[in-house]
Structure formats: C-alpha cells, structure tokens
Amino acid sequence: MEKNFDVIVIGSGHNGLVNACYLQKAGLNVLVLEKNDWIGGAAVSRELHPGILYSNCSYVCSLFRPEIMRDLELPKHGLQIVAIEGGTVFTRDGDYLASYRNYHAKKRELERFSVKDSESYSRYSRDILKQCRFIQPLLMRTAPDPASFKFRDLSEMLYLLRKVNDLTASELADTVRFWTMSISDFLDEYFENDVIKASLAVSGIIGTALGPMSPGTAYVLLHHYMGEVDGSIGAWGYARGGMGAISKALTSSFRAMGGTLLNNSEVDKVDIRGARVRGVILKNGDEYLAKNIVSNADVKRTFLKLTDPEHLPPNFIKKVNNFKIRGSSGKVNIALDSMPKFPSVSENNPCLKGDIHFTDSIERMERAYDDWKMGTWSRDPFLDMMIPTLTDPTMAPPGKHFMSCFVQYCPPKVGGQNWTKENKDAFGETVIQQIADYSPGFREKILHMEVRTPKELEDEVGLTEGNIFQGELTFDQLLFNRPIPGYAQYRSPIKGLYMCGSSTHPGGGVMGAPGRNAAVEILNDLNLPNSDIRDAYEVL
C-alpha cells in the first residue's frame, strides 16, 4: 500500500469527502482516512435492522449546495434529493397544525388557528427571504480576515461592506436585530398564536444549546432556511436511500477520480516536524505521509486530541478550549413493523410525510431547555420526527417503516456524570412515551430502536460533546470568527494543516460549503488552479 500522498483528509464526513473530491479532481493524490468501518460521519445510512436502512444522524437535506452536486457529478454517482410534502405539529388538545407545500393549503391551515397570523405569514416569509439574500452569497466564499491587509481580504471586506451599504437604514437595523435576537422575540413581531409560533421556532433551536428565548436563535432559523430543493428556497428534501446516499455518491465520485479511502483507520496524531506537517500516525501504528493534512474533525478534536499542544500558540489553544460546542441533542432511530396511527389526522393526510412535532408552545420548548441547563435530558422533549419511508421506497420493505426522531434537549453528561445504560434507556423511554401519547399502539410496532445520546455521537461519529454543528451557530462564532478569530480561512497555526469541517465557516448542516471553501484555499496555497470549482449560483 502506498504511503505517500499529496493530501490526507482525516474523516469521511460529507465535508471531508467534498474537500477530498475537489482536491483529487484538481490533480492531487488524496487519501481519506475513516476510523469507522462505515463512511459518511454524520451523513450516514446503516442497516441496523434487517432490510431497514436508517439515517442514523442527519436525516433531511436542504442545505447541500447544488453547485457541489454538479461539480462533483453526484447525480451520476447515484444521488437523488427528493422534495418532501408536509409537516405537522400535534397539539395537546387533540388538534394539529399541518404545513403543506401548497401555499394556499398552508395558509388555510394557519387560518384555522389565526386569520391574522395566516396573513402575517407572507410578510414573515418576505423578511426571512430578505435576510437569506443577504447572507446566502457568503456561504460559498471564504470569510475575509478583517485584521489583514492582504488584497483579497480587503476586497472581500469591501464586498461585505458593499452588501451592507446596499441595505436601507431600516433593513440594516432589521439585519443587526435578526442576527442577535431570539427566535421567540422575532416571531412575536409577526404572530399571535402560540402553536404557529412553536411550529416556526423549531428551526431556531435545532442543534443549538439555546432555548427559543435565548438571543441569537433567530439566526439559527435563518441558517436552516438558507437551503433549497431545486430552487425552492427553504424547502427540505430526502436523500433517496437515506443521508448516507450523499456520502456514498461522494465516495463513488472520489474513487472514480482515483482517490483512496481507507476505513477502520483512526488517526491518533498528526505528525508535525519543524512547525509543518509530515503526515499522520494511526491508532494501529501505521503511518501515512503528506505535506497537506485536512481535518474534517471539529476544531476541538483537531487541535486538542489529534495535534500535540506544543506546536500551537497558547492563545490559540485557549480559544479552541473555549469554543462553544455544547451537545444539546440526541437521536432515537426506530424500525417499525407498520405505519403508526395518529388518530388526530386522517389517514390520507400528506402532512405525516414531513416533519412531525409534538411541542405546541414556545413555553414548552423553553422549559425543555431548562432541564438541559439543569444537567439532564428534557422530561418533555422537543421531537423533530420523520418517516422518510413514506416517501423513499429504498429504505424499507413495503409497509415497514423507518422513523427518525431528533430529540432536544439532551446533555453530553447527566448531572456532570457520564451517561449510564439506565439513563440512556430512560432517555429513550421519554421519547417513546411522547410519541405513544399521540399514537395508540405505537410501542407494539417497534422492531428495533437505536438510541443515541451526545455520548454516542461523540464516541461513534467523533463530534465533540455530540454537537451536530461542530460548534454553535451564534454570531460570536460565525463568519471571520468561526472557529477562531484569525483562523477563519481553513488554515491553522501549523503549516500544511487545514480544517474543513462544520467548525469552519459557514458552519453546520449537510451543506458541503466548508469542504468546498477549504479546497479553494488549499489549491491557492499550492498555486494550483481552482477553475473546476464553480462559483455560487445567484440567489433568488
């Protein structure tokens, strides 16, 4: 086996694979090292029950950039993203608030709860779109370093300032407010009904160790809204075959270009000699050499575990230590013998094909967060539940189903102690009980269940504290401050060591932009052309 490569990518998460593909495509000889015997990091599909494929971690797709899919020919390698119909919040009084793709069906559904709110919805969408138009073009660009006087930093700063300058006074005020305020306060400006507010607040808290009343959560909503399915902004889709299909297509594209990917190859240390990288040393003692190492791991894992601190400046280590990457969510994946019944909705209602929630007020979300602050999982958690097998025939035999439950909030440690089996079971039971409250006979349909607390996410996937975004998406950790001021351009203090994970700009979600942007920077450093990397499409 060859030991010398131009580039070694640590981790086969979607960003690692995107990065590896672009670099391999540019003519470099790239090796991807994956510690698990499966690929994909948190974009993974595994068959944990015979015949039933899971989306074990991430479970829906919207943010993954179409430019990347096209550059890397992922459709040719089997990737299909299909649009989702519907979504619903069940209310405790036995009703539900559904959401449909059909705009008027959606508005009529809102009207059932508040005529005024139904009409306010268009103003709300307009304002979110306005914010998207401002921020989305920044996703596929390296953030400028405001302290640098390099030509490209100055010109990128100028680009940012021009964009700011294009805003009217009230738009600028709205933007600054939007980036800093809580999702609850933001929604209060448009809506009066609590169920409607709860259904919209969801995107403000997913993956974040903040409550809907915490400042900064409005931006998190925007982050979830910036994706699209075939031009439909804010829409979500399923990767056909589960989220692992994205990693599979990326791997296939990578291998077709001649790249090398090794499973069961956990990196122990990045080998650093004389302030630059030499290669990596695996847990099993194997060594691979490369002048460029790209870490898909989060910033904490990269610099506190894989790199010896002696090579790093002390203030950098301190900033890495203090980077906010608090685990706040868990996952319960369930194989079902048949479609669960939800008597509140009629059986042909398409809303069950989308995201299903049981939290009908902002107050309940905030109380769920309170439990997390007290060091335990929420007694009344917030669930983002989906049954992709209602849309995707490839994941389960006809009539059987896979159900994905994203659960918030769930702490990385319980009362400061490591998770025990009892705690993990009790956490799973909390989730099942909430579903069963709305779905009689639910328990009897369960064939198999995978419960993942932040501990499993950290141990299996490698996400520090089980934070799904590799670091929170609050304004202090975005743009040129992500992950560390002065190191927001995918480089590190060590020559030849790069970052390409969600810890870097523009952050988490299965977007691929960090991996792509890092590839642009690496090719720049190597004086190689990056003409094969397409610029971002224009928004709206």
Q: Which residues contribute to the site for another protein (CB under 8 A)? A: 86, 90, 92-96, 98, 100, 102, 104-105, 107-109, 112, 115-116, 119-120, 122-123, 126, 129-130, 133, 167-168, 170-171, 190, 343-346, 348-351, 436-438, 440, 540
Phi, psi angles (nearest 5°) of residue 234: 85, -5
Closer residue to another protein (CB): 168 or 531? 168
Q: How far is the CB of 108 from another protein (least distance, A)?
A: 4
Q: How far is the CB of 441 from another protein (least distance, A)?
A: 11
Identify the H or E element spanning 110.
Answer: helix 103-113
Own/partner long-range contacts of 211-215 (Cβ < 8 Å, ≥24 apart)? 211/365, 211/366, 211/368, 211/369, 211/370, 212/182, 212/183, 212/184, 212/362, 212/365, 212/366, 212/369, 213/182, 213/184, 213/185, 213/362, 213/366, 214/182, 214/369, 215/180, 215/181, 215/182
Task: Enumerate helices (H) and strands (E) in the chain, giving the number of each.
Answer: 16, 20
Six-digit token string for 212: 């809907």
Q: How many CA atoms lie within 13 Å of 178's alpha carbon, on the beta-carbon side?
A: 20
d(CA 46, CA 255) in angstroms, rounded, equals 20
d(CA 304, CA 321) in angstroms, rounded, equals 8
d(CA 232, CA 128) in angstroms, rounded, equals 14
Phi, psi angles (nearest 5°) of residue 355: -80, 135
d(CA 461, CA 448) in angstroms, rounded, equals 21
What lies within 8 Å, CB to CB, of 427 at 6+ separation is 330, 377, 407, 410, 451, 453
Closer residue to another protein (CB): 383 or 519? 383
Closer residue to another protein (CB): 54 or 121? 121
Q: Are 353 and 393 in contact (CB under 8 A)?
A: no
Q: How far is the CB of 113 from another protein (least distance, A)?
A: 11
Closer residue to another protein (CB): 131 or 470? 131
The alpha helices in 414-512, defined as continuous H runs, are 421-438, 454-456
> Dmax over Cα atoms in the chain, in whole Å?
68
Q: How far is the CB of 363 from another protein (least distance, A)?
A: 18
Closer residue to another protein (CB): 200 or 497? 200
Q: How far is the CB of 494 from another protein (least distance, A)?
A: 44
Closer residue to another protein (CB): 351 or 368? 351
Closer residue to another protein (CB): 304 or 436? 436
Closer residue to another protein (CB): 160 or 526? 160
CB burial string 392-429: b at 16+ within 10 A, e below: beebbeeebbbbbbbbbbbbbbbeeeebeeebbeebbe
Closer residue to another protein (CB): 179 or 402? 179
Q: How far is the CB of 81 from another protein (least distance, A)?
A: 23
The 3-class secondary structure across 16-60, one letter per residue, is HHHHHHHHHHCCCCEEEECCCCCCECCCCEEEEECCEEEECCCCC
Closer residue to another protein (CB): 37 or 93? 93
Q: How far is the CB of 194 from another protein (least distance, A)?
A: 17
Going by the DSSP 8-state scheme, the letter that residue 504 receives in this structure is S
Q: How far is the CB of 364 from another protein (least distance, A)?
A: 14
Peptide bond into 506 cis (omega under 30): yes
Q: How far is the CB of 160 from another protein (least distance, A)?
A: 18
Q: How far is the CB of 442 from another protein (least distance, A)?
A: 10
Closer residue to another protein (CB): 100 or 254? 100
Q: How far is the CB of 141 from another protein (least distance, A)?
A: 21
